Amino acid sequence: MQNTLRILFVFGIVAEFASSLRAADLDSAPINYTTATADDVIVPLIRNIRTGKITLRHDDNHGYLTSLLKELNVPQSSQVLVYSKTSLQRSRIGPKTPRAIYFNDDVTIGFCQRGDVLEVAAADPNLGTVFYTLDQNPKKEAAFTRQTEMCLICHGSSGNQGFPGHLIRSVSPDRSGELVLSRGSKRVDHSTPFEDRWGGWYVTGKSGKQTHLGNQIVGSALSGDEDDPTTNVTDLKPYFTVANYLTPHSDLVALMVLEHQGETHNRVSRANFLVRLALAEQESLNKAFKQPNGERTEGITRRINSACESAVKYLLFCEEAPLKEPVEGTSGFTKEFAARGPFDSKGRSLRAFDLKTRMFRYPLSYVVYSRMFNGLHPEAKERIYLRLWEVLTGKDQSKEFAHLSATDRQSVLEILRETKADLPAYWKK
């Protein structure tokens, strides 16, 4: 850890992360981040590799990438490309050799050209995000290593209150992908205005007159030709050898979904962490004061409620930055993602896109179907479901939910009733 930290400091990357190490004590009960057995999509894969049920295939161009995506059911259309030197394998990354990221609901995978490892971030209801590396050297058996320290230097930063989570940023890179530090950087999620997104990222897609910071370096177009467009780019061939990647895309809609999903996972898992920490504290208070089990102070209830509220608001797209014009991707991600459902009897789905004034047609995140949400602590889930029900039925008319029309609330309520098996009884009519 010390060594890694020193190396990162030399490169000047983690100055802004440094203060953040371990806001909460992740390594004691009830969380035990380092020692607890993970419950994510990588655990059964490791088991199946060990017992010979699955063999990951290695190829000279991308190592284990293609095979890993296939086994985990991660679509290649989700590919997005980042060229700023902002992550672990920085020496491999630059405008000619961007890092590729792929994702589905449960796992995100990072690939660098000639990288030593594939980087994996997997969703786990109790541990939030669990990190792995997969050695890219061809081996008899593909070797995953769970990483409990190195990745958290950046992925456990103060932006997520010290909890392990996803990280997407918009930065100002120079011609080599190095940050121009004086320009600062921004964490990106669905509340980030369109014009502030994607500094350091390639972006393929159309967005009309809406500009963004993708496909450029500080002060000019990436191509070096001032007249080249940086928005509405659909072909990345002028910038680097796209044939070195699984697909020629860095899909605009995939980027928006990744940003929404990353922060939704962060908020939902943070709610889970905070609820479990509050309950553990209550339990020791009860013990210390010889109170009956199950005794609950007002303070603890308040903490539980406020931890869940932040997730509820995000799930309901409060503060989503509006689109001023329609947007469109290039890779087929939009179609593939929307086709996955689940659908209600009227054919409606939370994965249906809008992409004209906002991201999705129905304003409740599809993350409610994920293993992260389904595995919430019962008290966290109970609270989140209660609040969703209050808002969707219109009982809660507070200002922060004013963006939800009565018909949208009703539609979401109906979709959930038909597609979500674990709703509390009072949700059914």
Question: Which residue ranges make up the site for ligand HEC (CB under 6 A)?
Answer: 8, 13-14, 82, 84, 86-88, 99, 101, 108-110, 119-121, 131, 133, 147, 150-151, 153-155, 166-169, 262
Smallest distance from the beta carbon of 116 to ligand HEC, in angstroms? 10
Q: CB of 41 within 8 A of CB of 72?
A: yes
The radius of gyration of the chain from alpha carbons, rounded to an integer in Å, stands at 22
In this structure, which amino acid lies at residue 1?
Answer: M
Minimum CB distance to ligand HEC, residue 309 (Å): 24
User: In this complex, which beta carbon is closest to ligand HEC, that of residue 130 or of residue 392?
Assistant: 130
Closest approach of ligand HEC to the CB of residue 192, in Å: 13
Report the residue number, 120 or 213, with the smaller CB distance to ligand HEC. 120
53 versus 70: smaller Cβ distance to ligand HEC:
70
Token pair, residue 345, equals 């009897």
Q: How far is the CB of 391 from ligand HEC (least distance, A)?
A: 28
d(CA 369, CA 262): 15
Q: Which residues contact 246 (CB under 8 A, 6 or more apart)?
A: 62, 65, 66, 69, 76, 79, 100
Q: How far is the CB of 318 from ligand HEC (least distance, A)?
A: 22
Cβ at position 306, least distance to ligand HEC in Å = 25
CA 315 to chain centre: 13
Residue with Cβ nearer ligand HEC (147 or 411): 147
Shortest Cβ distance from residue 101 to ligand HEC (Å)?
A: 5
| Residue 7, Cβ density class (10 Å: 0-12 exposed, 13-18 middle, ≥19 buried) | exposed
Decide whether 24 or 150 has the Cβ nearer to ligand HEC.
150
State which amino acid sits at residue 9: F
Residue 30: cis peptide before it, omega within 30 degrees of 0: yes
User: Which residue is associated with the tokens 């990288």?
Assistant: 115
Cα-Cα-Cα-Cα torsion 341, 42, 118, 123, nearest 10 degrees, comes to 60
Q: Which is nearer to ligand HEC, 200 or 363 (CB)?
A: 200
Q: Nearest 5 degrees, angle CA 218-CA 222-CA 224?
A: 100
CB of 198 to ligand HEC, least distance (A): 11
d(CA 90, CA 126): 30
Least Cα distance to 344 among 419, 401, 233 occurs for 419
Measured from the CB atom, the residue of 109 and 304 that comes closer to ligand HEC is 109
132 vs 401 by CB, closer to ligand HEC:
132
Residue 144, token pair as written in the block = 């995953």
8 Å CB contact between 307 and 409: no
